[in-house]
Amino acid sequence: MYTEKVMDHFQNPRNVGEIENASGVGTVGNAKCGDIMRIYLDIDDNGIIQDVKFKTFGCGAAVATSSMATELVKGKSVQEALNITNKAVMEALDGLPPVKVHCSLLAEEAIHAALWDYAEKNGLVIEGLEKPKSDIHEDEEAPEEEY
């Protein structure tokens, strides 16, 4: 049901924890399934993500997508991080079962929420960044596809 990469990121998640005085913190959840994801970003003066941590309350797929999302944004610019989609997270994990696609959407939204927080704290406008939703509903998701 789950790929080796999903199992690896679930059993050995990368970047777990919190960042004190983080540049940006994003929290999103899905009230229907109960998953809650929080991502912390440490962004330097050049707009590069130097460190990223996460805390997730949820299923194995939620933990794995959080872990992979942090790996994908670390070392990237704010704009590059903004362009990381749930599809990129799923592809990096070699796919997710259709019923778990929403976990990758949470990961994408948590990154956006942390970037929004960073922009708000610093009086910045990040082109292409929209105010994030705190609750991701099943009916608002992209069509589920198998990868």
Alpha-carbon distance 111 to 7, whole Å?
22
- Of 31, 91, 96, nearest to 62 by C-alpha is 96
Distance, in Å, from the CA atom of 130 to the CA atom of 115, rounded to the nearest integer, reads: 10
123: left (phi over 0), alpha (psi -120 to 50) or beta: left
Which of these is catalytic: 103, 107, 113, 129?
Answer: 103
Q: Which of 6, 25, 28, 33 is catalytic?
A: 33
Task: For residue 33, indicate whether it is catalytic.
Answer: yes
Catalytic residues: 33, 103
